[in-house]
Amino acid sequence: MSYISIKNYSKKLRGKYVLQNINLELEKGKVYGVEGHNGCGKTMLLRAISGLITATSGNVIIDGKELKRDFDFPSSIGVLIENPEFWKYKTGYEVLKLLADIKGNIGEKEILEALDRVGLNDVKHVLVGKYSLGMKQRLGIAQAIMERPEIILLDEPTNALDKAGVELFQEIIQEEKKRNACIVMVSHSGEILHSFSDVIITMENGQIEEVK
């Protein structure tokens, strides 16, 4: 049974459609990989599901309720869109603590667990300004998964990760899938998408070309 239903969704920006007549059914416990050329609408699709943009027409239904009508943003969601930027003068732990305090759903135990899962346990008290790009990417993944959300949206999640980081990420994705999260992942790497995903969604010019 679908957890997220996207129905006839279109979004127009500056007179041009960035998403056009999108129809998708997304289930829990599955990993959806979205592929396509730059500018084809992959990131916009994540923005649509997360409520960061509002439809020009059509709608997004999550767990039976309509986004932007019944609620502004999904209540249980983890998002990593584009390059993660964090406070440079806070430690990795402090960054996650500040973000966790917004909802107040988790405490120190879950924050430390997330840092450990992404391999940042040894540098959790180091200032983020001293992190490499790969370490910042790991921190971005940690903030997306730390609250164990029902929806996880990831835009180029393996960007700047070394081989060990990619392997850790693959473990995390499998664990979140087993936990029954609905995971949507965008990547320019077809190899990564096809090895991680249960379903591949191909986009072109703001439209869905194929779902397989």
- CATH number at 195 reads 3.40.50.300
* Residue at 81 is within a domain: no
Provide the percentage of residues in the chain whose pLDDT is more than 70. Answer: 100
**For residues 46-56, average pLDDT:** 97
How many residues make up the chain in this entry? 212
pLDDT at 188 over 90: no
State how many domains the chain has.
2
Query: What pLDDT score does 189 carry?
Result: 81
| Residues 23 and 70 occupy one common structural domain | yes
pLDDT range class, residue 20, cuts 50, 70, 90: very high
- What whole-number distance in Å separates Cα of residue 202 and Cα of residue 95? 35
Q: How far apart are CA 154 and CA 183, in angstroms?
A: 8
Residues 11 and 63 in one domain: yes
Instruction: Give yes or no: residues 134 and 38 share one domain.
Output: no
- Same domain for 51 and 135, yes or no, is no
pLDDT computed for residue 53 by the predictor: 97
* Interatomic CA distance for residues 112 and 115, integer angstroms: 5
- When pLDDT is cut at 50, 70 and 90, the band that residue 84 belongs to is confident
Quick one: average pLDDT of 112-139?
97
Q: Is the pLDDT of residue 5 over 90?
A: yes
User: Is there a domain that residue 131 lies in?
Assistant: yes
DSSP state of 2: E
The mean pLDDT value for 90-99 works out to: 98
Model pLDDT, residue 108: 97
pLDDT at 156: 95
- One domain, residues 41 and 58: yes
21 forms beta bridges with: none
Residues 6+ apart with CB under 8 A from 65: 71
The answer for residues whose C-beta is within 8 angstroms of residue 57's C-beta and 6 or more apart is: 8, 9, 10
53-81, pLDDT tens digit by residue? 999 999 999 999 999 999 999 999 999 99
- Rounded CA-CA distance 68/7 in Å is 14
Residue 190 has pLDDT above 90, yes or no: no
Q: Output the pLDDT for position 142.
A: 98
Does residue 23 belong to any structural domain of this protein? yes
- Using the predicted structure, report yes or no on whether residue 166 has a pLDDT greater than 90: yes
d(CA 53, CA 193): 25
Give yes or no for a contact between 38 and 94, defined as CB atoms under 8 angstroms apart.
Answer: no
Structural Rg of the chain based on CA atoms: 17
Q: What is the pLDDT of residue 181?
A: 98
pTM, full prediction: 0.97
On the question of pLDDT at 127 being above 90, the answer is: yes
Range of the domain at 71: 2-76+149-211
Average pLDDT, the chain: 96
**Do both 33 and 72 map to the same domain?**
yes
Kindly tell me if the per-residue pLDDT of 85 is higher than 90: no
Query: For residues 98 and 103, what is the distance between their CA atoms, to the nearest angstrom?
Result: 10
Helix residue ranges per DSSP H, 7-153: 42-50, 92-103, 108-117, 133-145
Strand pairing report for 57-62 and 2-13:
antiparallel
Whether 196 and 115 share a structural domain? no
